A = this chain, B = another copy of it.
Amino acid sequence: MEENKNKEKKEAVSELRQDIVSGDWVVIATGRAKRPDDFAKTERIKDDKGIEECLFEDPVATGQKKDVLIYHRSDGEWTLRVFPNKYPAFDGGSKEDISEGPYYAMPGNGYHEVIVTRDHWRQLALMDAMEVAEVFDAYQDRYLDLMNKKNVNYIAIFHNHGKECGASIPHPHSQLMAIPVVAPYIKLELDGAKKYHRSNRHCVFCVMAEYESKEKKRVVFENEDFIAFCPFASRAAFEVWVMPKKHSPYFERITDKQKIKLAEVFQKALNSVYKALNDPPYNFYIHSSPCDGKDYPHYHWHIEILPHTATWAGFELDTGIEVSTIQPEVAAEYLRKQL
């Protein structure tokens, strides 16, 4: 296989790799390949607002909405708080029919919350594993509280870091949107996982986790319970997935013990991206089963970390095929060096 690969590099300028779950394609443009350390040099828009202007440093003083969750240190100082987004994309429970002619539409019912950690300067990539575990505690707490609410069929939990990745406020914060529809990307993965299971009698995510753990070449870090690796069909340079090794469709059922294991792997993975790319903008998000009352036995929750290293242009927007200029095997090797 390795021999074939090296030979291939000389003959083709790129590889078309298929996402084993969704069936989507990506291009690994080896002919346009850059060296791993070239990705750190891209222009950056720096978040230069001072801490004095920060809206999340003292959320009460800046008129944010009332906390729905707050964690404290033993000395009484808060360490994490969650409150509804002041300008929500989803809110309320309107019953109106807003379809029109041949088109279907519904009110944007749901919840939109902000999860803020205490330290303005300490982004998740720089936290220690215990601090990261507390963030996952909050994700789970809020998930469990919202999952049974009326009109909530999917809960998206995501984090934007850096202006290019959509973080309008630099203070570290995640967001949670509880929405009435199953997200299209999740639907693609659910359908793909179901189809794979029908053909192969295995969870496709378990197959990935086992194969990667055995092969090692795309692994960034792993412990007994979780594995972080650059996916075979990476959509972006230095994309990393963090996945439980044991089959589990539902993030919200994670145990406290597992959360510590997850935090260890996630922290190592995110920190390696931070170092390798010199504090890049990034997004990460949890992909988990819908909470629409149905069972999803063949799904397998995981986290996707997507550093912002390129612009998706006409070809990507046109086709849905992302072009990446580094092989995930090379990216993973470089990320491991940062540990």
Instruction: Give residues in A with beta carbon < 8 Å to B.
Output: 1, 4-5, 7-8, 11-18, 20, 22-25, 27, 29, 31-32, 87-92, 94, 96-98, 100-109, 154, 156, 158-160, 164-167, 175, 177, 179-181, 183-186, 188, 207-208, 211, 215, 232-233, 283-287, 304, 306, 311-315, 317-321, 323
Contact = CB atoms under 8 A, between A and B. Distances in A.
A283 B314 contact: yes
A175 B313 CA distance: 11
Contact of A16 (B32, B105, B158, B215): B105
Contacts of A175: 314-315
B184 A320 contact: yes
Given A13-B88, A18-B104, A315-B175, A98 B158 contact: no
B103 A321 contact: no
A251 to B, nearest CB: 13
Nearest to A88: B13
A98 B5 contact: yes
A12 B93 CA distance: 8
Nearest to A24: B184
B160 A313 contact: yes
A323 B177 CA distance: 12
Contacts of A97: 4
B318 A92 contact: no
Contacts of A321: 179, 181, 183-184
